[in-house]
Structure 1
Amino acid sequence: MDRKTPTIQDVARFANVSTATVSRALSAPEKVSEGTRARVAEAIRVTGYTLNQAGRSLRQRSAKTILVAIPDIRNPFFSSILDAIEREAATRGYGVLVLNLYFGRETIRRLQDFLLSNRADGLLLLDGSVDTDLLRAVSQQAGEIPIVVACEEIPNAGFHTVLTDNVEAAERATRHLIDLGHRRIGHIMGPEHNVVSRERITGYGRALADAGLTPQPEWQFRGNFDMESGFAAAARFLSLNDRPSAVFAANDESAIGFLSGLRQRGILCPRDISMVGFDDLAVASHYVPPLTTMRQPREAMGRMAAEALIDLIEDPEALAIPLRIVLRSELVVRESTGRLASVGRPSLEVDMSPARI
């Protein structure tokens, strides 16, 4: 006998809630408690329920479009990634929709609106903070729409993923400062709960540990991946009696904000402090001094993520085992890092030619 098609009533019984609560959890998740959302998501997974059981057949009417969801469209980090995604999609005959997720609790509803309207055939997610269970529920509602995650990994989620080597790259960035003789090395962090921030501070800590150095809590400055938080970190740095001689920042924007704040107080780089950033934004090579930084292969990441998503759209069995591609970042040495002089201050001896490691 054929198995009975699961209904919303089955989901409600399994989750021990009303059908109205199930509906609300799917259409307006911000109005439902986190615990209830988790129970409903688990019930959907176990029962195999989809909001629209005709979703699979509707998916056959391809929109020839992919949806790219990013955490903040204002961040220049995403520009070259989006460009690479659009170029790859165009060569495959697909258009691109961009969804800005900078809307807090409205994130899942906005994803639902796009995916359930059949305006996109797949989702390329550049944000690792989206609730995994609700993301899976949305995918099921839309007829198991393919999902690829890039830039920020969602640990243990099982999604196809393309990212860079954040831990290892941060370790190399910090080791570059150690190789220049620095032993007092600070760090400007990213957002506290961001997976990339955690990975980069892990790499920073590993490099220090390998060199027999102990991270000093007062030399670890809170940040938010923007110039304003870097500028604020400079104020905290200036308030210290015991200051580091070098700083590794979790991204270029915070590094530039930090150096700007120090320059206003007469502290110059690399004369008084060495600085390493992360990302190699376009502004990094044109800042004064040009910034030593970790260059992420953003174009390759965008191209490969788009390629994987379109492969999944066109052949759902093409990638039966979850894909996990980790690309290597590149250390680009410019003028913001100098060797520590014997008197305890960075010297002005700096290699002026860009180098790649």
Structure 2
Amino acid sequence: MTEVRKTPTIQDVARFAKVSTATVSRALSNPDRVSEGTRARVADAIRVTGYTLNQAARSLRQRTARTILVALPDIRNPFFSSILEAIEREATNRGYGVLVANLFLARAPAQRLQDYMLSNRADGLLLLDGSLEVSALQALATAPYSVPLVVACEDIPNSGFHTVLTDNVQAAERATRHLIDLGHRRIGHLLGPENNVVARDRLAGFRKALQEAEIPLRQNWLLRGNFEMESGFAAAAHLVSMQERPTAIFAANDESAIGFLSGLRQHGIECPRDISLVGFDDLGFAAHYTPPLTTMRQPREMLGRMAAEALIDLLEDVDPERGQLRIVLNSELIVRESTGRPPKDAEA
């Protein structure tokens, strides 16, 4: 006799989690009203009973939300503005709404994303943050949650996720080579955050360019930074204290580069007369600062559009035979007035 397995219900989840069915319902529909510990118990009960698998599958078939969730590390960062605009434009054109989760405010960002998806407020996740724990994201993307997931901007190596990003290593190499072609041999790097994959990739590109040009890497010319203007300002003060200084700096992003320029100016050091500087991103203010900043322009609008397109294609099963998607877009060197030849007395 064939045993017929009973479809798991919300009552099963409540019994397993030792809470009321009303609490389970709140955890799914309005997780902010439920404590973190209770949400974790409910999520565990859902995983064990298989309840979410049935509910999520039905929601995706019916497209009840027709909304994608965009999760980013810090909404205050101007880098994300044009990416978000492009995502929203593409989503709107295809009949989807957009929710934004600012992970900067979350103590447990992976848990917050799980709460969003369990509540069926969004059909899929577009993640612009590569710092989250891979195992938590893989759990979200597989049964019983099975959340369609696309990663953009920041790579998550060896994760198997669909990814859309720019060529950080190669672009950093081209930025550094621009300084080398101008005649610089004493070149430093203003770093990004130590644990950020983008910062690590840009450091790798910087190292590669120096190595190919047979220019030694000076460890004391790797200036600590965190992608913020304040860190660039502090790096400038550190550089001024050096007895021997580089004649050029490649900064890991435009914000820290602008802070660096401002700090140099306070000490009477002029760019590019005394030191050349290259940034990364080509944010809106880069062309309007004094001097206008030479930088690597990321195709942010294209990145946002293609990432949204990839996620919605997954939701609509446009190409069921497609394997892992990985799109790498090329950045462009934009030469402005912050770079020039090294001072005559500093040329090697």
TM range (shorter): 0.7 to 0.9
Q: TM-score, normalised by structure 2?
A: 0.85
In structure 1, the residue matched to 2:84 is 82
SS of 2:88 mapped into structure 1: helix
Shift in Å at residue 55 of structure 1? 2.4
**Conservation of the 8 A alpha-carbon contact between 1:30 and 1:106:** no
Over the matched positions of the two proteins, sequence identity in percent amounts to 62
Alpha-carbon distance in structure 2 between the residues aligned to 1:279 and 1:130 = 22
Is residue 171 of structure 1 aligned with residue 160 of structure 2? no
Shift in Å at residue 306 of structure 1? 0.3
In structure 1, the residue matched to 2:330 is 328
One-letter amino acid of the structure 2 residue matched with residue 183 of structure 1 = R
Please list every run of 5 or more consecutive structure 1 residues that lacks an aligned counterpart in the other structure. 8-18, 21-26, 32-39, 347-357
Matches within 5 A, 1:201-240: 201-240=203-242
Shift in Å at residue 272 of structure 1? 0.5
- Give a deviation string over 1:140-180, Cα, whole Å, max 9, x none: 46741210000001111111100000000000000000000
Cα distance change, pair 110–213 in 1 and its aligned pair in 2 (3 A): same
Alpha-carbon distance in structure 2 between the residues aligned to 1:154 and 1:6 = 36
CA RMSD of aligned residues (A): 3.0
In structure 1, the residue matched to 2:247 is 245
Cα distance change, pair 198–333 in 1 and its aligned pair in 2 (3 A): same
Cα distance change, pair 316–256 in 1 and its aligned pair in 2 (3 A): same
From 147, 150, 159, give the equivalent of 1:148.
150
- Give a deviation string over 1:175-231, Cα, whole Å, max 9, x none: 000000000000011100100010000000000000101110100011110100001
Alpha-carbon distance in structure 1 between the residues aligned to 2:89 and 2:321 = 22
Shift in Å at residue 5 of structure 1? 9.0
One-letter amino acid of the structure 1 residue matched with residue 166 of structure 2 = T
Cα distance change, pair 236–281 in 1 and its aligned pair in 2 (3 A): same
Matches within 5 A, 1:1-357: 51-62=52-63, 63-140=65-142, 143-315=145-317, 317-318=319-320, 320-344=322-346
**Conservation of the 8 A alpha-carbon contact between 2:71 and 2:129:** yes
Greater CA drift, 110-119 or 331-340: 110-119
- Give a deviation string over 1:272-312, Cα, whole Å, max 9, x none: 00000000000000000000000000000000000000000
One-letter amino acid of the structure 2 residue matched with residue 92 of structure 1 = R
Cα distance change, pair 48–158 in 1 and its aligned pair in 2 (3 A): farther
Shift in Å at residue 58 of structure 1? 2.8
SS of 1:253 mapped into structure 2: helix
Cα distance change, pair 338–129 in 1 and its aligned pair in 2 (3 A): same
Alpha-carbon distance in structure 2 between the residues aligned to 1:177 and 1:29 = 53
One-letter amino acid of the structure 1 residue matched with residue 79 of structure 2 = F
Shift in Å at residue 98 of structure 1? 0.6
Shift in Å at residue 233 of structure 1? 0.6
**Conservation of the 8 A alpha-carbon contact between 1:50 and 1:143:** no
Alpha-carbon distance in structure 2 between the residues aligned to 1:131 and 1:316 = 29
Alpha-carbon distance in structure 2 between the residues aligned to 1:96 and 1:297 = 21
Cα distance change, pair 4–201 in 1 and its aligned pair in 2 (3 A): farther
**Conservation of the 8 A alpha-carbon contact between 1:59 and 1:118:** no
Alpha-carbon distance in structure 1 between the residues aligned to 2:35 and 2:155 = 23
SS of 1:170 mapped into structure 2: helix
Alpha-carbon distance in structure 2 between the residues aligned to 1:222 and 1:203 = 17
SS of 1:54 mapped into structure 2: helix
In structure 2, the residue matched to 1:12 is none
**Conservation of the 8 A alpha-carbon contact between 1:115 and 1:142:** no
Q: TM-score, normalised by structure 1?
A: 0.83
